[in-house]
Structure 1
Amino acid sequence: MSDAGSEEEQTAQTPIEQDNHSSGSTRKGCDPLSQTQRSKLQHRRARINQQINKEMRMRAGAENLFRATNNQKVKETVALELSFVNSNLQLLKEELEELNSNMEVYQTDSEAVNVPMIPLGLKETKEVDLSVPLKDFICEHYGEEGSQYEEEIKEFMDLRQAIRTPSRNEAGLELLMEFYNQLYFLDHRFFPPNKTLGVHFHWYDSLTGVPTCQRSLAFEKGSVLFNIGALYTQIGARQDRSSVPGIDCAIDAFQKAAGAFNYLKENFSNAPSLDMSGTSLCMLVRLMVAQVQECVFERVLLLQDGCFTSLLQGAQEAARVSDVYSLVQQTMSQPLVKEYVPFSWVTMVQVKTEHFRALSHFYAAVALCDHAQDTEEDSGVGEKALLQLHIREPEGVNLSQLLSNTEERRKLGKAHLRRAVIRHEESMRLHGLCKILRKMDILQEVLSFTHKRSLDKYSDIDHEDDFYDTAEAPNIHSKTQQKPDIKTPDFSSVRVTDIFHRLGPLSVFSARNRWGPRRQVQLVRGEAGLGLTLRGDSPVLIAGVVPGGCAAEAGLKEGDYIIAVNGGDCKWAKHADVVQTLKSNSDRGVELSVITLLTPELQLERRSVLMSLSGDKENTCQRKQGGARGRGSLLMWTRKKSGGGATKRPGSTFSLPFSNLRDSGSMY
């Protein structure tokens, strides 16, 4: 389940790892058995997704049989069965569309009457058993017993289970972001270039329920990122927009939702499901931007003082909202999106386009009809605002003299009210075409109230002795005080600990690197010392070996990494700690476990040859490893490449500059 539980409210970067290595996430999902309205809705969505999956598998099998058989009677039987399956699929998709159109569940419980916002349901996923693949990889690649990491594997799987039921608040967002950051570490630990782990990730389309299965970890990352954006839409939809703080919270949530969808659109390509395709994400970004603009308009109304210029500002803000929703409507009309987006969404966008266009004319009319001469116009502010109100100058009206002519203002105001009433009636007509929207009492109440308000205002200024024809009022010039800011998710704000940190520093112990077999070396101090030079830490590197010395005779080589001393793991040990251990034990003998990193060329030849760590060769190796990191094993769904170059991945937080290695070298 994706979003059951609590109803409480509250630039993408490389994950920041916590300084300590204490494992264990304190963030948990909601109780999947809790019976909130959202949880019931999500349970129904999960059930329908499973039924759709079953019917699609039956249809695939029937189609294969139909193509394979030559028996006419069998073909007729299969064709009949296919018709039943397709009918069931159509009914299930209609039921799912109705669930996705249920907006009231996500709205605020406040008594204030606001136009409902469009939230997005979370993508569903199936459980994934990572135990065997991860244990096998640890044994094969890292040379350690996989059973020693059962606790870490369970913790990761528990975290993945928790993200299926995030709470609709900041804690739920942090849970999703923590898992997204953990996927960064999982990718570098267990997914070597051009090779898969053999794990299948199952996710359902957010709107159609169609299942998708891929082995690419990028698909898992993209689905989690999509859910981050979807959760932001739910948080934004439930804000109490009757107050400025509530509106500001809604604006922030919708801007971050737009940022998540936009980041997904720009950084991933070849999406296997429609909800994460480029056209769908473009539509979602524009929808979120429109809802931000709507919130900006609501804030302008709350803060306005009823003066002439503030009313004109409200009219222009409403026109801006209408224009942005009109752009969303155009996006939803594109061929790939038209048949995909729920009809209730399309209708809601059409209703809002007409509704806010009507409001723009209404507030312009109120400013013109209820306006009284004061010092504001004398200073020219009112005249300037009026000159910028329309997209073209009204016919037969001298705007420079309009402020001082009450009758002319009334005539132009009446023309605007006439257009407002027409637009209100059109929004109500569109609303009546959608069965799902007709059930939304809040929307019906808003549309009826604004329509009646415009009619009443028109009746107030409509004189019986008006024998002139009401001129056509021009459209209001759209303008806004605050343009939406698409905010990319800041994943670095959620500090995480690499669950598999016991494997060692990621700069060395990653799926991108290969090394020779672990070697056990017995080292005893001679008269000239141990005969080796150590550099760096985590892990400590043997930077030099004295020919004929104790270290050379024991089999140590330049480029070896010390990973254990006397059976004690020291992959994370500091330089001074390893040196102290060697000094205190070398007289009676010390057992070292060492490994040697292999270059990519030698990995292909499967020969164990020392890496050279001097001068330019060090930098060459570093570049080669960086190139290997850039080639992600993303299969059918991949990160987009910028400028035609290789995909860039953030550097590991564990990287140790070679200058530090040289500076810290000491002879022992």
Structure 2
Amino acid sequence: MLKWVQRQSFRCPPRSRDSDRAIIEGSDPRVATCRGKLQNRRSKLNQEINKELRLRAGAENLFKATTNKKLKETVAVELSFVNSNLQLLKEQLAELNSSVELYQSDSTNAVMPMIPLGLKETKEIDFRDPFKDFILEHYSEDSDAYEDAIADFMDTRQAMRTPLRDTTGIGLLFRYYNQLYYVERRFFPPDRSLGIYFEWFDSLTGVPSCQRTVAFEKACVLFNMGAIYTQIGAKQDRSTAKGLDAAVDNFLRAAGTFRYIHENFTNAPSMDLGPEILEMLVQLMLAQARECLLEKLQLQSEENRTIDICLDLAQEAAELAECYGHVHDLISHEAVHDYVPYSWISLTQVKREFYTGQAHCHAATGILHPESSHMSPTTKEVLQFLHTQSDSTQLEINTPQEEHERRTLGRAHLREALVLQEECQRQHRMCRELRGKHALAAVLRNAHKRALHAYTATETEDDFSDMLDPPGIQPSTKFQLSLTAPDFAQYRVTDLFRSLGPIAIFSAKRHWSAPRVVQLRRNRPDEGFGFSVRGDAPVVVAVVEPGSLSEFGGVKEGDFVVAIGEKDVKWASHEEAVALIKSAGDSLVLKLVTPMDRNFLKSGKSGKGSVSTRSSSGSSSCMSSPAGSVTQHNGSKAGLLVSGAKLNWNPFKRNHSTSREGKDFLENVILR
């Protein structure tokens, strides 16, 4: 049965390792940063929400079960209180999730805030008893020898609950994820449960989800990787080109991680792992990466902004506005809208209007540029395809030819930019959470001032053409974004339970008999033990001679040799195993297991027509000899073994040979 206990009770007896190793790289739960406090508050809210959900479930069951009218009225009142409390708690959690300023850059410059994700919380799990029981039952090994390995795995899981918000924290999550690859195959068979449940809280709603599958644990760890990438990206100093490059890289890594979850994990019980939410997060991260690229282009061209650059900025801003429009459509979907903070919906809408206004502003700057009367043919071609064709556009000037047309079109774009910037400020004021984001308010205010200044600078006299709407800006981009999928090979780990044997053979889904010890003794040095082996890690009994010591000792074709003498050979190569057999002398002690899976009950076959005899050591690699060739045994006239012939071997029935006297032969065999 699974136990939830405090951390100090998890510690194994004192182990012979340095105390410095107790602190795992990438995690430091003792550091009380503002982000750590935010996670603690989110964790407490998750627990409160879980409590209210249990109360509501109990009240609903009582309401359905009772027939007492008065009791039903009382339960209905209690249900209303529980639902009210639950709604308040979810609003508090949404407010925490919208606390984007905690993850923003420490720069004092006014920059557009990004949307980072909070981490999923999980409870602590004690793996010791289930793992030790499974090792003893399934692998038939001393489970006490694996206490250190189990404790190391538990320490790693405990550390990954509080990862640092940097590359070391990402590395910690990757190492734990890669270790899950081995743990899943070692301890989680497909046909039974160990009683281990992985419980994680939804990062957006705080609702707990619980499953027995390791796939759920993997998906949640990957989600936290993506969340940390978003926090690292939002934390970059976007006033420098280096910071913008780092932000783009982290947002693309986050998008690649969420896409990987979407493509490889299905039917997740948690809403934040649902396909609609994940697709929205992928598009949101791509939009934020594109936003950083636009900011970098603006930063690099700030001192010398030519007409071509202004038109490029206009189309890039229009492309970004279209991306945020797509994100807003996804986030407004019925399956997503009720599960994300309202501030996210408002911020994506604000950004869509803001960058549409920026596109008109950049287009006006290029059209009204002092050198616009001497455009190059390339610039004229770009300007020709700058605007979209729309029936609702009242101003029919797409490619201005004269100064009056350029001024009219430029002022129309500036007026549209002013209208859109005012709409941004209105939407900003309507959202209670966004009203407190001072950096966002400063960005919107500065953009409105710049557009207003440019508009008034071109004003000469009243003209009714100023009331006409300009054509839209054609979205276009020169940046091709490529998602960065998780690179699991970058963080290689060692299987903590490697001594159980090669994972392809000794795994939870494979079955084999209990280990048995066979001791073979031969009377004459020139007499073989009567079996040959093939393969490595572990070596497999390829052939057992009829009537030999091995057959009467219980050695079976297809057995895995897991130990020779006192030495464990599950990882031994073929040459090492043969050398140990040769060095055993006249007495050979083998520990064998018989695979119960059909795939491993098939005997290995050599090349067609190859023939081999017993070697003096009784072992052979079963390599094919030339067709028709015969390898003679030194001083022995033993019968030949034809590898290509079908062997009538039944693992549950022993065929006794009459080639030797049974009484004399069994004296040389010791069964354990």
Task: Give TM class, smaller chain.
Answer: 0.7 to 0.9
The corresponding residue for 2:597 is 599
Q: Aligned with 1:110: secondary structure? A: coil
Describe how 1:300-449 pairs up with structure 2 within 5 A: 300-304=297-301, 305-372=304-371, 377-378=375-376, 380-392=377-389, 402=401, 405-449=402-446
Question: What secondary structure, in the 3-state scheme, does the structure 2 residue paired with 1:485 have?
Answer: coil
In the alignment, the residues of structure 2 paired with residue 382 and residue 440 of structure 1 have an alpha-carbon distance, to the nearest angstrom, of: 39
Deviations 1:202-247, CA, capped at 9 Å, x for gaps: 0000110001111121111111111111111111111111222211
| Residue in 2 that maps onto 1:170 | 167
- Residues 193-212 of structure 1 mapped to structure 2, 5 A cutoff: 193-212=190-209
The offset of 1:346, in angstroms, is 0.2
Superposition RMSD in Å: 2.4
In the alignment, the residues of structure 2 paired with residue 274 and residue 31 of structure 1 have an alpha-carbon distance, to the nearest angstrom, of: 29
* Distance in structure 2 (CA, Å) of the matches to 1:396 and 1:85: 57
What is the CA–CA distance in structure 2 between the aligned matches of 1:284 and 1:203, rounded to whole Å? 19
CA shift digits 1:9-50 (9 cap, x unpaired):
xxxxxxxxxxxxxxx998534322321110010010001111
8 Å Cα contact 1:599-1:611 kept in structure 2: no
User: Relative to structure 1, is the Cα distance of residues 108 and 38 closer, same or farther in structure 2, using a 3 angstrom cutoff?
Assistant: same
Question: Among 46, 60, 64, which residue is 1:63 paired with?
Answer: 60
Is the CA contact (8 Å cut-off) linking 2:395 and 2:469 kept in structure 1? no
Flag structure 2 segments of 5+ consecutive residues without an equivalent: 1-20, 608-619, 626-630, 634-672
1:566 partnered with 2:565: yes
Indicate the structure whose relative CO is greater, using CA pairs within 8 Å and at least 6 residues apart: 1
Q: Are 1:566 and 1:591, in contact at CA under 8 Å, matched by a contact in 2?
A: yes
Q: Of residues 242, 249, 252 in structure 1, which corresponds to 2:246?
A: 249
C-alpha separation in 1, matches of 2:482 and 2:518: 60
- What residue identity is the alignment partner of 1:50? Q
Q: Which amino acid aligns with 1:147?
A: D
What is the CA–CA distance in structure 1 between the aligned matches of 2:514 and 2:266, rounded to whole Å? Answer: 38
Q: How high is the TM-score relative to the length of structure 2?
A: 0.84
- State the TM-score, normalized to the length of structure 1: 0.84
Decide whether aligned partners of structure 1 residues 429 and 399 sit closer, same or farther in structure 2, where only a CA change above 3 A counts.
closer
Give the corresponding residue for 1:291: 288
Count how many residue pairs are aligned between Structure 1 and Structure 2: 590
Amino acid at match of 2:455: Y
What residue in structure 2 maps to residue 557 of structure 1?
Answer: 556
Offset of residue 664 of structure 1 = 9.6
Between the aligned partners of 2:486 and 2:22, the Cα distance in structure 1 is 20
Q: Secondary structure at the match of 2:239?
A: coil
Q: Check conservation: 2:307, 2:372, Cα contact below 8 A.
A: no
In the alignment, is the contact (CA less than 8 A) between 1:539 and 1:561 conserved in 2? yes
Residues 415-448 of structure 1, C-alpha deviations (whole Å, 9 max, x = no match) = 0000000000001100001111111111010000
Bigger mean CA deviation after superposition, 256-265 or 202-211: 256-265
CA distance in 1, matches of 2:448, 2:326: 24
Equivalent position of 1:651 in the other structure: none
- Look up the SS of the partner of 1:63 in the other structure: helix
Q: Which protein is bigger by CA-based radius of gyration? A: 2
Equivalent residue in structure 1 for 2:103, among 90, 98, 106 = 106
Cα distance between partner residues in 1 of 2:84 and 2:350? 31
> Which stretch shows the higher mean deviation, 327-336 or 68-77?
68-77
How many Å separate the matches in 2 of 1:269 and 1:468? Answer: 56
Spell out, residue by residue over 1:522-558, the C-alpha distance to the aligned partner (whole angstroms, 9 max, x if none): 0234422332212222112221222233333322121
Shift of 1:465: 5.2
Residues 101 and 321 (structure 1 numbering): CA distance in 2 closer, same or farther, change over 3 Å?
same
1:614 aligns with 2:605: yes
- Conserved? CA contact 1:25–1:159, under 8 Å: no
1:69 positional shift: 2.1
User: Displacement of 1:356 after TM fit?
Assistant: 0.3
Equivalent pair of 2:262/2:278 in contact (CA under 8 Å): yes
Does residue 182 (structure 1) correspond to residue 179 (structure 2)? The answer is yes
Q: How does 1:79-118 map to 2 (within 5 A)?
A: 79-118=76-115
Instruction: Answer yes or no: is the 8 Å Cα contact 1:358–1:424 preserved in 2.
Output: yes
Secondary structure of the residue aligned to 1:488 is: coil
Aligned twin of 2:472? 475
List structure 1 runs of 4+ shifted beyond 3 angstroms: 24-29, 393-401, 465-470, 660-668
> What are the Cα deviations for residues 324-360 of structure 1, in whole angstroms up to 9, with x where unaligned?
0001111111111111111000000000000000000
Deviation of 1:390 after TM superposition, in Å, equals 0.7
Shift of 1:409: 1.4
